Every structure is written in structure tokens, then in C-alpha cells.
Amino acid sequence: MPLGGEVETTVNQPADHAVAAGISLQGVTKRFGSHAAVDGVDLEIARSEFFTMLGPSGSGKTTLLRLIAGFEVPDAGTISLHGREVTGLPPYLRGVNTVFQDYALFPHLSVLDNVAYGLRVRRVRKSARRAKAREALAITHMSEFETRRPGQLSGGQRQRVALARAIVNEPEVLLLDEPLGALDLKLRQGMQVELKRIQRQLGITFIYVTHDQEEALTMSDRLAVFKDGRIEQIGAPADVYENPRTEFVATFVGTSNVLESPVGRAVLRPERIGIDVANVPSGFDSLTGTVIDVAYLGIMTRVTVEANDGRTMSAVSQNRSGANTAASFALKSTVTLSWDPADAVAIGAGESSSTVPNKGES
């Protein structure tokens, strides 16, 4: 949804906005010395998609974001945004904006002038840029703070201003580099909802970088899990969580028990395991062991059991009406765990793949 106002600018615009392609990366590689921070990544992101790049520090996700933004130049491969190759273009000619974790606001300017700054650089008339800046502030629910300076705002409010400043330029793609990392848990959860609302309202393609699995699962249309500069798995959040292809994905996105089975290695999510079941259902696998750790997590309790055969497994149980709370399980007590073998998902040997399906595929 375009923001209102007339723009006068000499900045080049994409030649054909009707092209339906999203973001396309083909064989993109970036090396720093002998280290391949991004290693031959192929990636397709659909227009208007909320796409998340998830991975630990050093996995290549932020470097790839910087390559898309134009802050870094790939050593190999091509980058296209909405049907236009931009591999060699500077950031200001790409139709993208970036929101950073540290906000990067000007402390001496008001909120309104911070948001309007990019339009001022583009030589938009004062009346038009203020009108567009106020519309962006309305979208981010910050209209009442337009006369304040950044130092008079909370962290969450500053992040909303940074977001308003990014969307006021009507970018085709908005890049977000761990934008909520500096916020406390409650603010972070609230901003997750707001970011998704704004993305849906504007229809802008969001590419979001985080190491927080909950953020990725909560906000994304699709996500890619990164490891060592390559994409380990890509898909809808539920598909990546329920059907991890490698042990790394299974243990990084949530928690999994790794099992040895007659057909190879498999992963079993803790919530799929029954704890201290009186009668193990027919056809279920089970083990008996000693409780070595109990963690009360609010809505659930996690119990870690060391089995008689030496295996260690974790299971969780929801806390309903006072049942299955941490107090229900004593350290060093004996419990039985049981599960349906069909809930154990077979995994590969850990090989990575950067081949990415189109939106809607898994």
C-alpha cells in the first residue's frame, strides 16, 4: 500500500514494477580471506513474503542480508530484485531499505524529522515529506510522539521510529537485521506482532535476520536455516519444525532427542513423548530411567531422564489444573517415557543444501 504524497527525486527507479519476480540469488558467494561467509547460495523469495534467515552467529545470514542490501559485493553469483539484476548497484539504487538493531536515529532531530530525513535527501518538498512521514508514523502507531527526540523514547518506541523511517521511502524490499535484539522479552513479543501487522498492511517484501528460533517460527511465511554459509533447510515454519532434514536443524530449531533406529538416525520432539504412562499403548516404544533434571517453564514442565541403557532424553508436559508440574516429578525418581515410533522423523547425515523451492513448497 503506497504512502501518500508526491515525490520529486532524481534517484533511478526500477524499469518495470509489473515484474512479479521477488528476490532471486543465484550461486552467491562471499569470501573474507579464505573463509566463505556465504557459500554458493541459491535462493528465491516471493514478492510480499515475510522471509526469515535463521541461524547461529557466523552462519552467513547477516552477510547475505548485506549482499542483498548492497553493502557488500559478492565474489560470485547474481542478485536480482523484482526482476532487475542489482548485483553491482549501490544500496540507494536497489529499492531496498534496512532496519538495524541499534536504530541509527539522529539524536538531535525530532521523531518527525528523523522519519522524513530520507525524503529530504531525495529532495522531496517539505510539505510532501512531512505528510508522508506522518502517515508512516500513523502506521507504526507513533503519531503522538512526532515532536520528541529519540532520547525521550523507550527502546520499543525508537524501533518503531526506525521502522517508520524505513517504510516512508516505499521500498520494494525491507531488510531487518536482528531489529528486536536490544528489546526485553515483553517488548520483543509485542513488536513481533506489530512487524507482522505492518508487513501485511503494506505488502512489502520483508527479509528478516535473527538467531531467535521463536521469532522465526512466529513471524515467517517461510524461513531458511543457515549453517556455515549455506542453507541447511528452507520451508514454512511448521514444516521445518515438524520435518527437520538434518540433525543440526532438529536441534537448532527447538529441541529434539536424537535416536538410533533400525533405519538410521531419527529425531523425536519432547512434546511427542508421554511421561510416566501407566500403560504403554500397543505398538509404542518406551524406556524406563531416572529423572536427572526437572524444569518448570510456566505452561509446561520439562523432564530429563537418564535411561537404564545410558541414553538421555527430554520430554515435556503441559501444566493443566496443577497436574504435571515440576513438583510432580522428583529428582532421582524412576519414570517411564513412551512414544509412537511414527513421531520419530528420520534425518540425513547432515548434508546441507542451498536449493530453495518456490513459495508454498516445502
Mean pLDDT of successive 10-residue segments in the chain (362 residues)? Answer: 43 37 91 96 95 95 96 96 91 88 87 92 90 93 94 90 90 90 81 90 93 92 96 96 94 90 86 85 91 90 90 89 66 91 80 35 34
Q: Are 339 and 273 in contact (CB under 8 A)?
A: yes
Q: Are 198 and 139 in contact (CB under 8 A)?
A: yes
Q: What's the CA gap between 86 and 83, in Å, rounded?
A: 9
Q: Report pTM.
A: 0.84
Query: What totals of helices (H) and strands (E) does the chain contain, helices first?
Result: 8, 18
Q: Are 170 and 9 in contact (CB under 8 A)?
A: no
What is the β-pairing status of strands 205-210 and 50-54? parallel
* pLDDT reported for residue 181: 79
Of the candidates 213, 230, 118, the one whose C-alpha atom is nearest the C-alpha of residue 174 is 118
Q: What's the CA gap between 245 and 231, in Å, rounded?
A: 12
DSSP calls for 91-157: GGGTTEEEEETT----TTS-HHHHHHHHHHHTT--HHHHHHHHHHHHHHTT-GGGTTS-GGGS-HHH
**Domains within the chain, CATH numbers bracketed:** 23-242 (3.40.50.300), 258-346 (2.40.50.100)
Q: What's the CA gap between 60 and 112, in Å, rounded?
A: 35
Q: Are 266 and 347 in contact (CB under 8 A)?
A: yes
Amino acid at position 12, single letter: N
Q: What's the CA gap between 253 and 244, in Å, rounded?
A: 9
Burial class of residue 335 in the structure, from the number of CB atoms within 10 Å of its CB (0-12 exposed, 13-18 middle, 19+ buried): middle
Instruction: Name the DSSP letter for residue 304.
Output: E
* pLDDT reported for residue 185: 82
* pLDDT reported for residue 355: 32
Q: What's the CA gap between 178 and 59, in Å, rounded?
A: 14
